[in-house]
Amino acid sequence: MARKKQAPKKRTRGGRQPVDKKKFSLTFFKDPKFKKVVGAFFVIASAILFLSFTSYLFSWQDDQSVVASKSFWELMNPEITVSNWLGKIGAWLSHHFIHQSFGIASFGFVLLLFVLGVKIGLGFSLTPLPKLVKNLIFNLIFLPFLLGFFFSANLPFLGGSIGYFLSEFFIGLLGSVGSALLLTLMAFAYVVYTFNPNLDVLFEKKAKLATGNASKMDETLQSESNTTSAQDEEDFYTKLTKAELVPDEGEEEDSKPAASTSNEDVDQAESEINLKYSDEQFEVIDTSNAEESPEDENSNLEESEDTELEIDEQSNNVEEELSNREVNKRLKDFGPYDPKLDLSSFKLPPIDLLEDHGSGHLTLEERMDKTTLEENKQKIITTLQNYKIGISKIKATIGPTVTLYEIVPEAGVRISKIKNLEDDIALSLAALGIRIIAPIPGKGTIGIEVPNTHPDMVAMKTLIKGEKFQHSKYDLPVALGKTISNETFIADLAKMPHLLMAGATGQGKSVGLNAILVSLMYKKHPAQIKFVLVDPKKVELNLFNKIERHYLAKLPDEEEAIITDTSKVVKTLNSLCVEMDHRYELLKDAQVRNIKEYNKKFINRKLNPEKGHKYLPYIVLVVDEFADLIMTAGKEVEMPIARLAQLARAIGIHLIIATQRPSVNIITGIIKANFPARIAFRVTSKVDSRTILDSGGAEQLIGRGDMLFSTGNDLVRLQCGFVDTPEVEEICEYVGEQRGYPSAFLLPEVADESDNGPSEILDGEQDELFEEAARVIVAHQQGSTSLLQRKLKLGYNRAGRIVDQLEAAGIVGPFEGSKARKVLIPDELSLEQFLSNQQQQN
Ligand SMILES: Nc1ncnc2c1ncn2[C@@H]1O[C@H](COP(=O)(O)OP(=O)(O)OP(=O)(O)O)[C@@H](O)[C@H]1O
C-alpha cells in the first residue's frame, strides 16, 4: 500500500510485519478457546498428580524398589509392572515428588495446578494466586521439615528426602530440642503472617485458650461463638457490623474498597498487597476522617447515635473476634446473598441475536484505496511545502471510517504555524469531514483525518463478542465503537459517571443509545441494573417495552414504563432524587461510601434486610431528546437532573442524555458542568460542537455513527457500533419471553418537598381545589401527590403544593420518603366536620 512508496519505506515496512505477527500471536494466546484448553490441561494435570500421590500412599512400598532402581526410560519396559493407579507415570511422578522431594507436602502442587487451571480456563480465582504461592513455598519447606523431624524413622515418605535432610541438618546443628523450638517458631511466624491473631486476647484469655497454638485458638473461638449464638437477630446484626472492625483474613480483602480512595476494580494482586498492609490502612483511616472510615473502630465509638456503640463498649476484644467468627459461620451456613436468585434461570441474550452487518469485511485497502491514500499524502506534503513547512515523517493509519495521517514536522517548525493552515489543508484535500488535530495530545505530531473511500461499518456483534468486552472488569461496561486504530473502545458508565450525547438529526444518536443499552443488557443481570427510559419522541425507545418486567424501572402508579409525557418526566426525576436520598441513607447506615461497597456488604450478609437494607441495582436514566424536555419544563427538569448529576454517582444512578439541538439554552452551563463525559455525533456548526465538547471538530465528522468521545481531557474519534432496530427488538423479545419480576422496578412515590418550600406555599392562599383534594385523599386513605394528579388532572407542581397545604392543615402527615404520606383523618364524615370547622375559623 502507500507505505511502500513513502520515504522511510524500508523502516516502516520492515517494522510493520513483526508487529502484525506479534499481534497475531498475542491474539492467539488471548483467545478464550486457547485459554479454556490450557485451563483444562492444568486441571487434568492436577487430577493426575492427585491420583498418583494418593495411590502412592498405599502402594509406595510395592513400587519404590522398582522406580528407584530404574531410569525413566528403563521403567517404560513393558515387562515391568507397578501398583500405582496411574501406572508407571503415576509411580514415577509420585516417587520423585513425594519420596525424592517434598513428601506429602507435594499435594500443594495439586492445589496450585487446579487453581491455575480454573483461573486460566474459567477466568475466576478460587483463591488469590500470590497468596497461594506464598503458602505453598512456606509449606514445601516447613511440612517436610516437621514430618521429617517426627517420622523420618518410620514413615520417611511423609517428609520426603528434603524433610529427611532438613531434620538431619538441624538436629546436627541445634539438637532435637533446638530443632523443635525452630519448628515452633516457624509455625508461630506462619500463623501470625497468615491469620494475624490478636495476641492481647491470647494473653488476657490465657485460661480459656489453653494452648498458644493458633489453630486451636480458632477452634476455641468458634466453640465460644456457639455459646453466644442464642442472641437475638438484632444483636447478631449489630455484631456483624462490629465484627468488621477487626479484620481477619477473609475480611481484609473486603475492606479494601472502603479504604481506597478510588473505586477501581479490585484485582487479586492488589488485594494481596492490601492484605499485607491492611493494618497500616486502618491506621490511616483512623487519623483522617472518622465519618469516612467505616471500618474504623474509633469512629464508631465516637458516633453517639450508633447502636453499635453501646454494644462495643461492653464487648471486649474477644467478643469482637467471636462475632467475627460468627459472621463467617453464618456466611458458611447460608452462603453469600445472591441477588440473581429471584431470576436464577435468566439467561443473558445469546450473541447470535446480533448481526454481522458485513462489518470488518473490508480490507484496509478496500476501505481506502491505494491511489487515494497516496494522493492525499502528496497533497498534504505539497500544501505544507507551499508554506515552507518541511515534513520529516508521515504515517497513515486506516480506521473504519477515516484515515489518520500523522505528520512529524521537521525540527524547528512551529506547530502553531501548521495549525493556522488548517483551512488550507482542508481545502487542498477537498474532502468532506477532514479534521485536523494539531498537535495530537501527548504525541507532538499533527494529525489529519481524512474520510475513507469506503467506510466500514462496525457491527455491535464484533464489539460484544470481542475479548475486551467479554472480559471487561468495568462495573457498567459499554462498548462504544472502534478507534481509528481499529481497537474496540469500551467505556465504564459507572466512572463517566453521566453522559451527554448530542448530534444533528440522523447522525447516529439513537443507534448510539441502543448500543449502550444493548451493551449493558449483554453484561448485566436484571437484578443488577434498571433503566429509566424517557422518550419524548415516543418512538425511539419503544422497543424496550418488552423488557419492562426485567430491566425497566417506573413510578408505582404508572402504566407504561417508558415515559413519553413531560410532566411525568419531572415526577420521575423527582422520584429518582428521592431514591437517591434514600440510598444515601442506606449507605450512611451501612457505613460505606458507594454502591459497590454497599452491595458487597449486603451480599456478605452484613446488612440486615429487616432494617430496610436491600441489594441496590444500578439505575441508568436515558433521555432521548433532552431539548424537548427543557423547552416544555425548563427549570423543573434542569434542577433535578443537575442534582442527580452532582450527587448520584456514588449511589449508582447514572444519566445519559441525548439531544439533537446542542445549543446553550438546552445544554446549559449547569448541565454541562455535571456531565464530564460527552459524545458528539456530527453537528451542523462549530458553535454546536463547542457547546458539546468545548472544542470544534464535531462539525467535521462524516455522520453515520462517526463520533467524538470526550471525558474531559481526552478526545477520541470513534466509529460507533451499529445495532439495527430488528436486532434490538430480537434481544428485547428474548429477554421479555423469559420469566421476569412481577412488575417493573418501582421507584419511590414522590412528594413535592424540595422545590417550593412549604413556608412559601403556606403564606399564599389555599388552592381552590384544596377541599376536593382533601376528599380524594381521605377517600383513598393515601397521601400521594400522584393520586391527586390523576384524579384531579393536575400538574405535578400544583398537586405537590396542595399536598403541602394539606399537611399544614393537618390532613396528611409529613413527607416520608418513598412511602405515601399518612392520612390523619380517618373518614369522609370527619373530614367534612374538619372542613366546616376550618371555614368557621376563617
Ligand atoms: N454506527 C453506525 N454505523 C453505521 N450507520 C449508522 C450508525 N449509526 C447510524 N447509522 C445510520 O444513520 C441512520 C440514522 O441513525 P439514527 O437513527 O441513530 O440517527 P439519530 O441521530 O438518532 O436521528 P434522529 O435524531 O432523527 O432520531 C441509521 O438508520 C443508520 O443507517
Between CA 500 and CA 79 the distance in angstroms is 77
Residue 713 DSSP symbol: S
Asked, for residue 150, whether it belongs to a domain, the answer is: yes
Residue whose CB lies within 8 A of the most ligand 1 atoms, among 457, 461, 483, 511, for a mutation test: 511
Residues of the chain with pLDDT under 70: 1-30, 124, 196-335, 358-362, 365-366, 431-432, 751-764, 793, 795, 817-818, 842
Q: Which of 752, 750, 781, 785 is nearest to 769 (CA)?
A: 785
Q: Describe the crossing of helices 129-151 and 268-288 by its angle, rounded to 10 degrees.
A: 100
**ipTM, two decimals:** 0.97
Asked, for residue 101, whether it belongs to a domain, the answer is: yes
Q: How far is the CA of 506 from the centre of ligand 1 (A)?
A: 5
Between CA 75 and CA 66 the distance in angstroms is 8
Between CA 656 and CA 475 the distance in angstroms is 16
Whether residue 457 has its Cβ less than 6 Å from ligand 1: yes
DSSP H or E stretch at residue 462: helix 460-465
Q: Are residues 531 and 615 in the same domain?
A: yes
CATH of the domain at 430: 3.30.980.40
Residue whose CB lies within 8 A of the most ligand 1 atoms, among 456, 507, 679, for a mutation test: 507
Q: How far is the CA of 671 from the centre of ligand 1 (A)?
A: 25
**Residue 333: per-residue pLDDT:** 61
Asked, for residue 353, whether it belongs to a domain, the answer is: no
Asked, for residue 204, whether it belongs to a domain, the answer is: no
Q: Are residues 235 and 384 in the same domain?
A: no
Whether residue 744 has its Cβ less than 6 Å from ligand 1: no
DSSP H or E stretch at residue 278: helix 268-288
Cis amide prior to 439 (ω within 30 degrees): yes
Q: Are residues 499 and 566 in the same domain?
A: yes
**Residue 274: per-residue pLDDT:** 36
Last-in-domain residue among 127, 162, 195: 195
**Residue 206: per-residue pLDDT:** 47
**Residue 307: per-residue pLDDT:** 29
C-alpha cell at 302: 465516637
Q: Are residues 186 and 38 in the same domain?
A: yes
Q: How many domains does the chain have?
A: 5
Question: Residues of 678-687 as b/e, b for ≥16 C-beta within 10 angstroms?
Answer: bbbbbbeeee
CB 708 within 8 A of CB 698: yes
Asked, for residue 476, whether it belongs to a domain, the answer is: no
Last-in-domain residue among 272, 301, 335: 335
Q: Are residues 501 and 566 in the same domain?
A: yes
Q: Using CA positions, which residue lies closest to atom 31 of ligand 1?
A: 704
Whether residue 508 has its Cβ less than 6 Å from ligand 1: yes
Q: How far is the CA of 681 from the centre of ligand 1 (A)?
A: 10
Last-in-domain residue among 417, 451, 485: 451
Between CA 370 and CA 534 the distance in angstroms is 46
Whether residue 575 has its Cβ less than 6 Å from ligand 1: no
Burial class (CB in 10 A: 0-12, 13-18, 19+), 307: middle
Phi, psi of 342 (to 5 degrees): -60, -35
Tell me the one-letter amino acid at 418: I
Whether residue 400 has its Cβ less than 6 Å from ligand 1: no
Going 486 to 492 to 497 to 502, the CA torsion angle's sign is positive
Range of the domain at 687: 493-746
Asked, for residue 57, whether it belongs to a domain, the answer is: yes
SS3 447: strand
**Residue 648: per-residue pLDDT:** 82
Q: Are residues 591 and 658 in the same domain?
A: yes
CB 732 within 8 A of CB 547: yes
Q: Are residues 504 and 607 in the same domain?
A: yes
Going 194 to 199 to 203 to 207, the CA torsion angle's sign is negative
Reported as a single tens digit per residue, the pLDDT across 168-223 is 888 888 888 888 899 899 888 888 877 766 565 455 444 444 444 444 444 433 43
Going 207 to 210 to 213 to 217, the CA torsion angle's sign is negative
CATH of the domain at 771: 1.10.10.10
CATH of the domain at 728: 3.40.50.300
Asked, for residue 2, whether it belongs to a domain, the answer is: no
Q: Are residues 132 and 185 in the same domain?
A: yes
Residues 6+ apart with CB under 8 A from 258: 293, 294, 295, 592, 593, 597
Q: Which atom of ligand 1 is nearest to the CA of 511?
A: 18
Q: Are residues 137 and 274 in the same domain?
A: no
Q: Are residues 792 and 733 in the same domain?
A: no
Q: Are residues 187 and 225 in the same domain?
A: no
Q: Are residues 601 and 631 in the same domain?
A: yes
Q: How far is the CA of 621 from the centre of ligand 1 (A)?
A: 21
Asked, for residue 713, whether it belongs to a domain, the answer is: yes
Angle at 710 between CA 709 and CA 712, to 5 degrees: 170
